[in-house]
Amino acid sequence: MLKLTFFKVMIIGLGLTGMLNATVLVNYKDTSLLKPVNEDDREKSLKAFGTVMEVIKSPRCINCHPTNDIPRQGNVHRLHPFNVNRGEDDHGGLVQKCATCHHKENNGYTNVPGAPHWGLAPKTMGWFGLTDVEIAHALLDKSKNGGRSPADLVKHMSTDSLVLWAWNPGKGRSAPPVPVDEFRKALDEWLETGAHIPDK
């Protein structure tokens, strides 16, 4: 299968890169090592990227990827009230943690959202307020994506329970505009087609 081949090649490629230069952070250009950018794929890739961005920029995702320390809420992205802060481990302060209010599932009584390991994406993975191009670069940059290879990225974005919460956000909250399967497909496709990034 195409997908399997892609992953295998990628893993070997990453291994090689690691051996070649262990001290240099692998960045998004690694993808090009594995699959040379094919200008014929550009259109396809950018289209897939557009779909990915629709999800990433949906309030359910971007609200917890702030570039500062405060989560946002709602489709209007208002700052989380009550002095809520990422704290040192992105899961709240020393006293009040995210888990003080947010548990492993949405609460049926209060409608407070919940999912396993509820918390903020690390500050390095902040997207709020960035342009599509900046987010694309961040996604592919290990220093800004949680040290993830493209394979890890796909895995994180398609299996992590907190990410998947976006499609089960609870009453009164809109899910991302793209179904989760289509999102996964688009992400694969974007990476496979060489992860083209729009000019602006």
Partner 1 sequence: MKIDFEINGKATSVDVDPQMPLLWVVRDELNLKATKYGCGKAMCGACTLHVDGDIFRSCSLAVEYVSGKSVTTLEGLSKNEGHLHPVQQAWIDENVPQCGYCQPGFMMAAAKLITVIPNPTDQDIKANISNICRCGTHPRIIKAIKRAAQIQQTTTLISDGKAKE
Partner 2 sequence: MEKQKNEGKSSRRKFLQTGAIILGGTIVATYLGRGPLRRFAAETAESLDTPLLVSTYKPDFWFEVLTDNTILLKSPKVEMGQGIFTGLAMLAAEELEVSVSQIRVEHAGSSNGPMDLTLTGGSSSTSSLYVPIREVAATMREMLKNAAGKYWNVQPGSINVKEGILTSGKNSMSYAEISALTKDWDVPDTPALKSVSDFKYVGTNVKRIDLIPKVMGKPIFGIDYTFPDMVYALILQSPYINGTIKSLDTKKAAESAGVIKVIEEKDLVAVVAKTRYAAEMALRLIEADWDIPRKWQQADFEQIVKVGNGNAVHIQDDGSAESLINENPGSAFRQEYRTPMAAHAQMEPNGTVAWVEKDSAKIVIGTQMPGMVARAVAKALDLDPEQVNLQVAYSGGGFGRRGMVNNAVHAAIISKLIGKPVHVFNTREQEFQNAVYRPNTHHVLEAKIGQGGEIEAIVHNQATPDTLVEAFAGSTALSLLGADFLSSGHGAGLIYNIKNRAAIVWQNKLPVRTGIWRSVGMYPNTFAVESFMNELAVKTGKDPFEMRIVLLKGTEKVNERYVHVLETLRERSGWDSPKPPGKGRGLAICNDRKTIAAAVIEVQVIDKRIKIIKVTNVIDAGLSINPEGIRQQVEGCVMMGISSALYEELTVKDGQIAASNYHEYPLATLADTPQIEVIILQGTDQPLGVGEPPIEPIAPAIAAAVFDLTGQNLRSLPLRIL
- Token couple for 21: 């230069």
Residue 97: CB minimum distance to partner 1, A = 7
Instruction: Give, in order, the Cα–Cα distances in Å from 88 to each of 112, 123, 143.
Output: 23, 10, 18
Question: What count of Cα atoms within 13 Å lies in the side-chain half-sphere of residue 95?
Answer: 2
Residue numbers 109-128 binding partner 2 by CB under 8 A: 109
CA distances from 180 to 108, 143, 159 (A): 23, 26, 10
Smallest gap, in angstroms, from Cβ of residue 63 to partner 1?
17
Question: Any idea which residue has 């794929």 for tokens?
Answer: 41
Choose one: 30-38, 41-49, 54-62, 81-89; the region binding partner 2 (CB under 8 A).
81-89
The answer to whether 82 contacts partner 2 (rule: CB under 8 A) is: yes
Question: Which CB, 123 or 185, lies closer to partner 1?
Answer: 123
Q: Does 94 bind partner 2 (CB under 8 A)?
A: no
Q: CB burial class (10 A; 0-12, 13-18, 19+) of residue 191?
A: buried
For residue 159, the partner it binds in partner 1, partner 2, none, with Cβ less than 5 to 8 A by kind, is none
* 101 contacts partner 1 (rule: CB under 8 A): yes
Alpha carbons 46 and 199: distance in angstroms, whole number? 10
Helices (H) and strands (E) in the chain, counts: 8, 2
* Residue (81 or 88) nearer to partner 2, CB: 81
Binders of partner 1 among residues 42 to 81 (CB under 8 A) are 81
Q: How many CB atoms lie within 10 A of CB 91?
A: 15
**Among partner 2, partner 1, none, what binds residue 11 when CB lies within 5 to 8 Å by partner kind?**
none
Residues 105-144 that bind partner 1 (CB under 8 A): 107-112
- Residue count at the site for partner 2 (CB under 8 A)? 5
Distance CA 135, CA 141 (A): 10
93 binds, among partner 1, partner 2, none (CB under 5 to 8 A by kind): partner 1
Chain positions contacting partner 1, by CB under 8 A? 81-85, 93-97, 99-101, 103-104, 107-112
Chain positions contacting partner 2, by CB under 8 A? 73, 81-83, 109
